Amino acid sequence: MKIFYNKNKLIKFTHNHKIIGFVPTMGSLHKGHISLIKKSQSECKNTIVSIYINKPQFNNTSDYKRYPRVLKKDISILKKLKVDFLYIPKEKQIYPNGPNKNIKIHSFKKQLCGKFRANHFEAIVDVIDRFIKIINPKKIYMGEKDMQQLKIVDHFVKINHRNVKIIGCKTIREKNGVAYSSRNNLLSSSEKLLASKIFKILLSKKNKILNKSISIDLIKKEIINLNVKKIDYIKIYDINNLLKKNNKVKKYKIFIAYYLGKTRLIDNI
């Protein structure tokens, strides 16, 4: 596995060697990431993974500081997977003139997490835009757990990088049902149990919620009764346009974001 730390060396390299599959990550790799990487390896002649904790997309410094960092372990996982290239950027080379304050993203941003995390999606789009310009990949693999992120990035890339395709990949779950997330490492064992219970409630009531034979508010109460103190949202949205459920469309998901202690988790079912 060839590791790049220097942006200019990577740019030079990709001018002579076409890199096809790209899996952007913030490290602390789990089975979700691994499934993205394997998908890329199965579809692409070669694959690059990036590990970069993108500071501007965090809404507060403590969340950024708490984010898990296990670089050595990550590198050994990627080596075992026989990933071709790894890019670990230097902070200064990604934002030589600071973040782009002119990023225009789709109005998907106004719903769900966009309401609670100002500028979060703009910052993600900004960094993906920068990575595309450095790597020039053909396909980028992203997880469906972060559905809103996936939709917003896909919309941006369709307009701005017409030769790049975003590939959404199924959410991978732990045995207890909780979607893999680097943030799961921040949970205590009792919090993990809670996350699993919440998943099971949503899963068991899924059909009733979607056909409205049970109200979202009732589910919300049930979750709050588990002693979950903060729920940013539970909503039913069309997965194609992230608009609220109406009767014309058939593909819905339940979207949830909630806190266990200081840790914010999201999921969609």
Q: Return the active site residues.
A: 33
Q: Which residue number, 103 or 269, has a Cβ lying nearer to a second copy?
A: 103
Residues with Cβ within 8 Å of 117's Cβ and at least 6 positions away in sequence, in order, are 59
| Contact string (CB under 8 A) for a second copy, positions 9-38, x = contact | -----x------------------------
Which two three-digit tokens encode residue 79?
Answer: 């080596």
- 189-210 and 216-225 helices, crossing angle to 10°: 160
- DSSP secondary structure letters along 71-123: HHHHHHHHHHTT-SEEE---HHHH-TT---TT----GGGGSHHHHHSTTHHHH
Note whether 119 binds a second copy by CB under 8 A: no
Task: Give residue 98's region: left, alpha or beta (phi > 0; psi -120 to 50).
Answer: left
Q: Which residue number, 138 or 220, has a Cβ lying nearer to a second copy?
A: 138
Indicate which single residue of 59, 111, 119, 160 sits in contact with a second copy (rule: CB under 8 A). Answer: 160
Of 123-142, binders to a second copy (CB under 8 A) are 133, 136
Note whether 101 binds a second copy by CB under 8 A: yes
Note whether 92 binds a second copy by CB under 8 A: no
Separation CA 47–CA 249 (nearest Å) = 36
Indicate which single residue of 16, 60, 61, 163 sits in contact with a second copy (rule: CB under 8 A). Answer: 163
Residue whose structure tokens are 């990627």: 78
Closest approach of a second copy to the CB of residue 132, in Å: 8
Closest approach of a second copy to the CB of residue 52, in Å: 19
Note whether 6 binds a second copy by CB under 8 A: no
User: How many CB atoms neighbour CB 145 within 10 A?
Assistant: 20
| Contact string (CB under 8 A) for a second copy, positions 182-221, x = contact | ----------------------------------------
First to last CA, the chain: 36
| Contact string (CB under 8 A) for a second copy, positions 51-90, x = contact | ----------------------------------------
Helices (H), the chain: 7-16, 31-43, 61-66, 71-80, 91-94, 112-116, 120-135, 147-160, 189-210, 216-225
Q: Which residues bind a second copy (CB under 8 A)?
A: 14, 97, 100-102, 104, 133, 136, 159-160, 162-163
